Amino acid sequence: MSLDPRISASASSCKRTVWRFTKPIEGEGNSLSEVFASVRLPAANAPWLQRFLAFVGPGYMVAVGYMDPGNWATDLQGGAQFGYTLLSVIMLSNLMAILLQALSARLGIATGRDLAQACRDHFPPIINIMLWLACELAIIACDLAEVIGTAVALQLLFGISILVGALISVLDAFVVLFLMNRGFRYLEAFIIGLLSIIALCFAVQVVAAAPPLTSIVTGFLPSTEIVTNNRMLYIAIGIIGATVMPHNLYLHSSIVQTRAFERTSAGRREAIRWATWDSTIALMLALFINAAILIVAAAAFHTTGHQDVAEIEDAYRLLSPILGLGIASTLFAVALLAAGTNSTITGTLAGQIIMEGFLRLRIPHWARRLLTRGLAVFPVVIVTAIYGNSGVGQLLLFSQVILSMQLPFAVIPLVLFVSDRNKMGEFVISRKLTVISWIVAITILVLNFKLLVNTIF
Residue 241: band (very low, low, confident or very high) from pLDDT cuts 50, 70, 90: low
**15-42 average pLDDT score:** 63
Residue 6, pLDDT above cutoff 60:
no
pLDDT of residue 80: 92
8 Å CB contact between 62 and 252: yes
Closest to 238 in 3D by CA, of 80, 376, 389, 75: 75
Is residue 51, in this structure, part of any structural domain at all? no
Closest to 242 in 3D by CA, of 10, 84, 86: 86
Phi, psi at 364, each rounded to 5° = -55, 145
Tens digits of per-residue pLDDT, 155-178? 899 988 877 887 787 777 677 777
Domain at 334, CATH number: 1.20.1740.10
Burial class (CB in 10 A: 0-12, 13-18, 19+), 139: buried
Phi, psi at 205, each rounded to 5° = -70, -40
8 Å CB contact between 80 and 307: yes
What count of other Cβ atoms lies within 10 Å of the Cβ of residue 193?
11
Q: Hey, CA dihedral for 170, 242, 304, 388, is it positive or negative?
A: positive
Percent residues over pLDDT 70 in the chain = 84
CA–chain centroid gap for 243, Å, is 7
Is residue 12, in this structure, part of any structural domain at all? no
Residue 207, pLDDT above cutoff 70:
yes
pLDDT of residue 289: 92
CA atoms within 13 A on the CB side of 180: 21
8 Å CB contact between 380 and 144: yes
Closest to 412 in 3D by CA, of 375, 439, 433, 388: 439
H-assigned helices in 3-124: 48-55, 58-64, 69-82, 87-111, 115-122
- How large is the C-alpha radius of gyration of the chain? 21
8 Å CB contact between 91 and 287: yes
Specify the 3-state DSSP secondary structure of 39.
strand
> Amino acid identity of 59?
G
Counted domains in the chain = 1
pLDDT of residue 68: 77
Q: Hey, CA dihedral for 97, 102, 106, 112, is it positive or negative?
A: positive
**258-271 average pLDDT score:** 94
Specify the 3-state DSSP secondary structure of 7.
strand
Specify the 3-state DSSP secondary structure of 5.
strand
**Residues in CB range of 378: below 8 A, 6 or more apart:** none
Residue 8, pLDDT above cutoff 50:
no
Tens digits of per-residue pLDDT, 25-38? 344 478 888 889 89
8 Å CB contact between 235 and 97: no
Q: Hey, CA dihedral for 137, 143, 149, 154, is it positive or negative?
A: negative
For the chain, give the mean pLDDT.
83
At residue 242's C-alpha, the angle toward residues 238 and 245, to 5°, is 130
Is residue 22, in this structure, part of any structural domain at all? no
Closest to 249 in 3D by CA, of 354, 127, 111: 354
Is residue 341, in this structure, part of any structural domain at all? yes
**253-276 average pLDDT score:** 95
Pick from 27-41, 62-76, 199-213, 349-363 the range whose average pLDDT is largest. Answer: 199-213
Is residue 31, in this structure, part of any structural domain at all? no
8 Å CB contact between 345 and 173: no
Share in percent of the chain as helix, strand, coil (round to 5): 75, 0, 20
Whole-angstrom distance, CA of residue 443 vs CA of residue 140: 24
Flag the least confident range among 9-18, 23-32, 110-119, 133-142. Answer: 9-18
pLDDT of residue 77: 87
Is residue 375, in this structure, part of any structural domain at all? yes
**371-395 average pLDDT score:** 67
8 Å CB contact between 103 and 410: no
Tens digits of per-residue pLDDT, 322-380? 988 889 999 999 999 998 888 877 777 788 888 888 988 777 766 766 676 666 667 76
Q: List, in sequence order, every residue forming a beta bridge with 4; answer none if it has no partner.
A: none
pTM of the model: 0.86
Is residue 1, in this structure, part of any structural domain at all? no
Specify the 3-state DSSP secondary structure of 381.
helix
Quote the domain boundaries for residue 323: 56-456
pLDDT of residue 171: 74
Whole-angstrom distance, CA of residue 69 vs CA of residue 94: 16
> Amino acid identity of 374?
G
Is residue 46, in this structure, part of any structural domain at all? no
